[in-house]
Structure 1
């Protein structure tokens, strides 16, 4: 549990505010409050002020996203930092049968890329999609719900593994490149799903699984290139392909 979740849990207990009260105030499922206080999900920046007022604290003490936005709009190098809070998606799928003690929601996002000096900056735009996963699955993968997002794959470059329209689960905490695994990266000014390898000369080989290498040739890029960024590793998918 991080410091934001711990502080929220302490204030929730001290204030004696019920999860149902917070749910009604925000017009969300009260199960979200359970996820916030246990650290399974972060409190979104757009909800932090209301939650903080209810439990008697400051929003920057219970929401890392809110704290980041409040801290600064520029990085130490002067480059603009774009912070897009991971907003909770409600009322997308029926909650019937959902058990907050054993399940979590993973939300869907589109990723847009901001240009500028230095490394590309991803912007996470919430979509009207979410999918439930079991805590048992999270424990098996070693992932944390707050680090996960679902993205839709576009294009045919990774066919036989993931197809156009498939959805992939991305672990944003897992950015260390291990050869022959699939990642979401930013390269060439756009977000892409690719298989990565570490080449003998230290560069990164970017591979499309599609066997048409005339259309989808391998690419090489320096790991420290300002045009390259690993968003996270793909750890699950839905659709006809297979990891």
Structure 2
């Protein structure tokens, strides 16, 4: 089955109108008609990702025909027609901007802290769907991260120096919340966004470790306790500025 045939099958099985599909993918209905008829080349990777989301099919199946039509997790890859050894030359860093996305970019939501109420001095970690940043699909593919599970944030403070500096952008895989010893995780701890290494302990406890251990002593919690941090996801990428 060709990619055009899979696109047509995904759209038809969704039961949605061409207008609805077009709106979800950010194109004109005439473009959807062309996709259905195979009258044009396949959409970009970004359009295919939006189409997979809109029709609730596997991105990998849609692009490559691999796996089941509705299987997951996904592993989108930039430049789906490109050879594997070309991926190294398609790296795209996260940027702000209003221009059109390149085939190797996806917009990801950003986590940040906001105050609960004025004057209370308390914060809450939220995912800001109004603010996004662009990120490389190539980077996500290399780490096996689905775009639907990815988000961005900014590290605050020096607790993870020298690994992650204050103000460094980080990428979070919300699909990985189980603890892998020694990996770095984003935590919602009483409304505070914290970035720490986690280690499993017996009896459902966890070690919370800062790389800057001189200033930030190790902590431990029972995950079921109300004062324990909530795991947002694993930090799989960060950028450090000098």
Asked if TM exceeds 0.5, the reply is: yes
Shift in CA distance, 7/160, structure 1 to aligned 2, threshold 3 Å: farther
TM-score, length-scaled by structure 1: 0.58
Q: Does the Cα contact within 8 Å between 1:107 and 1:131 map onto a contact in 2?
A: no
Partner of 2:136: 133
Partner of 2:180: 178
- Kindly indicate whether residue 41 of structure 2 is the aligned counterpart of residue 39 of structure 1: no
- Kindly indicate whether residue 10 of structure 2 is the aligned counterpart of residue 11 of structure 1: no
Instruction: Map 1:198-213 to 2 at 5 A.
Output: 198-200=200-202, 202-212=204-214
> 1:85-126: per-residue Cα shift (whole Å, max 9, x none)?
xxxxxx941536712xx4322232314587xxxxx9853224
Q: Matched residues in 2 for 1:111 and 1:150: separation?
A: 13
- Kindly indicate whether residue 136 of structure 2 is the aligned counterpart of residue 143 of structure 1: no
Structure 1, 232-241 or 222-231: larger mean CA deviation: 232-241
For the residue of structure 2 that corresponds to 1:163, the secondary structure is coil
Residue 222 of structure 1 and its aligned partner are, at CA, apart by 0.4
Aligned length: 173
For the residue of structure 2 that corresponds to 1:205, the secondary structure is strand
Partner of 2:155: 153
Instruction: Map 1:1-243 to 2 at 5 A.
Output: 10-13=15-18, 17=22, 19-21=26-28, 34-39=48-53, 92-95=96-99, 98-99=102-103, 102-112=104-114, 122-126=125-129, 128-134=131-137, 136-200=138-202, 202-212=204-214, 215-227=215-227, 228-240=229-241
Q: Matched residues in 1 for 2:28 and 2:111: separation?
A: 28
Q: Does the Cα contact within 8 Å between 2:125 and 2:192 map onto a contact in 1?
A: no
Shift in CA distance, 191/6, structure 1 to aligned 2, threshold 3 Å: farther
Q: Which runs of 5+ in 2 are unaligned?
A: 1-9, 30-43, 57-94, 117-122
Greater Rg, structure 1 or structure 2? Answer: 2
For the residue of structure 1 that corresponds to 2:156, the secondary structure is coil
Q: Does the Cα contact within 8 Å between 1:113 and 1:191 map onto a contact in 2?
A: no
Shift in CA distance, 108/186, structure 1 to aligned 2, threshold 3 Å: closer
Shift in CA distance, 150/98, structure 1 to aligned 2, threshold 3 Å: same
Structure 1, 139-148 or 168-177: larger mean CA deviation: 139-148
Shift in CA distance, 41/93, structure 1 to aligned 2, threshold 3 Å: farther
